[in-house]
Amino acid sequence: MDARLNFFASPTAGKAAKQFMAVGRSLKHSELPVLTQELVALRVSQINGCAVCIDMHTKEAAAADETSVRLNLVAAWREATVFTEAERAALALAEEGTRVADAAGGVSDEVWAHAAKHYDDEQLTSLVILISFMNSVNRLNIITRQPCAGDYKPGIFG
């Protein structure tokens, strides 16, 4: 499968991607725990079916010492006993923030309150930006059929 667009050859994409990827890098240095970031990025990407991002965030999480058991259970986190209450709250927020079209009210007050119990305002801000960012990246990759799933090397984007 070939990509529909070559972002690396486009001056417009080059300018936008530089700014866009800066958002992702800034989140890495936020107060939101790195493993929580990777679990959320992975779950959003699973929901959206973005193979490139699933590959990336599975490998980044493993490189950050996440276990294969937890990575394999992210898609079924509700039934798994290996996630903390804080991680479960983040994953619930990620799901409702990704599936906004499935619920007329968007993110429910219950899910928001559960996340707010475990994360302070700065961490919640990072979590919301991360969920939005991942949805955007997923859509860019899916719309343009980026074919590099499986080739990702941890740390390549800094």
Domains and CATH numbers, the chain: 32-143 (1.20.1290.10)
The CB density around residue 149, as the number of other CB atoms within 10 Å, is: 15
What residues in the chain have per-residue pLDDT under 70?
1, 104, 147, 149-150, 155-158
pLDDT at position 136 is 94
Enter the tokens of residue 51: 């193979």
pLDDT at position 158 is 61
pLDDT at position 141 is 87
Q: How far, CA to CA in Å, does 115 sit from each of 10, 67, 91, 101? A: 39, 23, 9, 20
Helix axes 34-48, 51-63, angle to 10 degrees: 160
pLDDT at position 1 is 67
* d(C-alpha 49, C-alpha 18), whole Å: 24
Q: Are 134 and 40 in contact (CB under 8 A)?
A: yes
Q: Which residue has the tokens 């699973």?
A: 46
Name every residue whose Cβ is closer than 8 Å to that of residue 32 and which is 6 or more positions away in sequence: 119, 123, 126, 127, 130
Give the residue from 146, 133, 118 showing the smallest Cα distance to 28: 133
Give the residue from 33, 38, 94, 87 showing the smallest Cα distance to 62: 38
pLDDT at position 97 is 96
